[in-house]
Chains A and B, each alone.
Chain A
């Protein structure tokens, strides 16, 4: 493949990202601008930004790769990622916005009035963020290597650097513009080449994919593991989306709860339109790029198809467009996660800085703390991405979903709808659910057990989410006497529409 177009595409996306970020910087002045874009983003902008941020490498490259490798089984992933937004809409969107907090730990504190819960939630935000960042960075390395032949670490480091510059310079407001731009870039980048590819397929006499019969069936192996894995993926993705820190932080940028609901509904439409496309790439890949399965490089199928099916300059330009889209996917998702890690850790840093004598003299402002946290938060996943062995992008992202579903999902759902939640119960659920869902990826990557244990560990959500919920409910019932005293007032705040003039003080 001619590398020139690919390099140009990556450079253009990088420049556009930094440029739009700098444009946003002109409007970023206050702390509120940095953290939540001063809560002034309209649903149309906000939903495109959420779509841009949410459609990661796992969606852009991973789904097509999984469909190519495993067929109909894998269609559950995009369905789950979309349905997750529906669950978010019905259970948390408006009340979360009305809670008036900046981040997930903020929500925990508003609802439970406990610093301990806040600290546990902060640790979990960082853990989920790192699990999610690692595959993004690895995917970037893989993409750049496929397109330009550069060593894997180049793309990984490049994405990390651009993300940090972007977050450090403009905070949330400039990121909102960048993300919204990147949603449309990603959709265009998949849509236009697809027309050409389908045309080429049509000219070719519309061959059918050649595959073993289980590729066509929703269950390759119709026995226990297949069914368990499918349901576990469903649980993780349906319930995990609402607990992803980079998704949740977006809801605070809505003007009110009403707008938060509308934003989520538009996101459902944007995601639904997007996810129609990767499946087609996967099926075309089965026809024209079946050898990628054997060589284990299924994640690159989207990038390889144009040169294989069309070739010539057209093929290369289309491949460059897809590369641009993939890079936009890495950048936008990584920016969003980094921003949410930085938001949470930066708040903690600024708080501590006010109490420590050394830092108080230096005068660590909230914005400086945010910038420090962004740079620091990227280092660990960067090191992991460079050292750990690669697993399929979409699979490793599922661990992040499972962890979020086992911890933040119970916290949000019970916190919003159940008065009986106590701080002790919340900590029990967060720690217990977090340990269960956190041990699984470590075991799978480091040891890789076989048999049913391996199956249970590779998709932990189906058992770790009930444990998280159970511990939270059980712990709260045991400490019933310590239900926060202001819970009635908090409920008023979470559930009454903003334009109704009631007392919302906590």
Chain B
């Protein structure tokens, strides 16, 4: 079909040599392994699933921390209000509410943050291994 007149192709091909014609399926590798990275880069359905699962995992960790805060610190005012006797209790010579609000709360907040950090970094490590299984983990566990 080289002399097709209605061909709109930009440069008219003048090539007249012999052309080897093969079945495209025969030249293609029998099986392409697509990496998760490609899936994500090309926003395929599979890539989306991986991304959504990472985001959902991280969001769940964040919401767990938030819920813990609401149920602990958030509940304290109501506890003090409901159980008047608690506020009379003394620890180390100071009233219990003062000890809790002025001292105990702070290490607890740090511990909660530390637990979250571990969880979030583990999720990211797992994700990295999934996406780039060939690459060894280069970031040392600090």
Contacts and interface: CB of A to CB of B under 8 A. Distances in A.
A145 B94 CA distance: 35
Interface in B89-122: 95, 97-98, 101-103, 105-107, 109-110, 112-114, 116-117, 120-121
A82 B109 CA distance: 8
Interface of A: 72, 75-76, 79, 82-83, 85-87, 89-91, 94, 216-219, 222, 227, 230-231, 234, 238, 258, 261-262, 264-265, 268-269, 271-273, 275-276, 279, 417, 488-489, 491-492, 495-497, 499-503
A91 B120 CA distance: 11
Interface of A is mostly: helix
B127 A269 contact: no
Contacts of B109: 82-83, 86, 268, 272
Nearest to A79: B105
Given A234-B74, A417-B55, A500-B131, A269 B110 contact: yes
Contact of A89 (B55, B95, B117, B131): B117
A212 to B, nearest CB: 14
Given A83-B109, A500-B37, 14 more contacts: A82-B105, A86-B112, A89-B113, A89-B116, A91-B62, A217-B80, A219-B81, A261-B117, A261-B121, A272-B107, A279-B98, A417-B62, A492-B51, A500-B127
A276 to B, nearest CB: 6
16 contacts: A75-B98, A75-B102, A82-B109, A83-B109, A90-B62, A90-B65, A90-B116, A90-B120, A216-B87, A219-B81, A234-B74, A489-B43, A495-B51, A495-B55, A496-B54, A502-B131
B46 interface: no
Interface string B127-141: 110011000001100
A271 B113 CA distance: 13
Given A86-B112, A495-B54, A272 B106 contact: yes
B70 to A, nearest CB: 9
Contacts of A499: 128, 138-139
A500 B77 contact: no
A264 B121 CA distance: 14
A491 B40 CA distance: 11
A264 B59 contact: no
A89 B41 CA distance: 28
A265 B121 CA distance: 13
Contacts of B120: 90, 94, 261
Contact of B65 (A86, A261, A273): A86
Contact of B43 (A217, A269, A275, A488): A488
A504 to B, nearest CB: 10
Given A219-B80, A500-B127, A262 B66 contact: no
Q: Which of A231, A264, A276, A495 has the most CB of B within 10 A?
A: A495
Given A90-B62, A264-B113, A217 B87 contact: yes
A264 B113 CA distance: 9
Closest 6 CB pairs of A and B: A272-B106, A75-B101, A90-B62, A503-B41, A497-B124, A279-B102
A217 B84 CA distance: 9
A190 to B, nearest CB: 14
A108 B142 CA distance: 32
Nearest to B76: A218
